[in-house]
Amino acid sequence: MRLSFVTLFVFLHTVCGCGQVRNGTAESETQYRLKCWGAAIAVALQVGDDIRVYKDPSEFEIAWELKESGVVACVSKSYMLDDQWGRKFQLIVVTYNDAAKHVRVLSVGKNGVFEDGGGDDLYVDIRLEKGQEPVWIVNRE
């Protein structure tokens, strides 16, 4: 499936509300950023991008920026690479095969301790099952 730049931009703008100024708690702002990451990575998975080649979200953003794609329109701001506590998001490939893809973008939360999605960690899970549309869910939203 090939999506045009305009289609991708409108999709991400609608889903993420790109460009909106957010006034909330550190947790809600981080969840908003994770939601944007979920949308961007879901589109990339849907068009066949191999997410395994990126060691972190910044590499993903740079690669897609070079492709001149609207996929990263929502996450291409420098502040989108960090959670609200100033820590870099982590890109974790949970499952990646022909039948299913499961990718997680994770924030270690306020305490700064990686708890593999437990404790105060915040994350978005992006899943793509063969023949299905991608789904992304932010925990504790």
How far is 40 from 63, CA to CA, in rounded Å? 12
**Quick check: 59 and 1 in contact, CB under 8 A?**
no
pLDDT single digits (tens) 39-93: 999 999 998 999 999 999 999 988 888 876 676 777 777 788 999 999 999 999 9
Q: Within a 10 A sphere around the Cβ of 54, how many other Cβ atoms?
A: 20
End-to-end, the C-alpha distance of the chain in Å comes to 30
CA distances from 81 to 55, 57, 87, 96, 106 (A): 13, 7, 8, 23, 11
pLDDT single digits (tens) 68-78: 667 677 777 77
Domain that holds residue 124: 5-138
Mean pLDDT on 22-30: 84
Domain count, the chain: 1
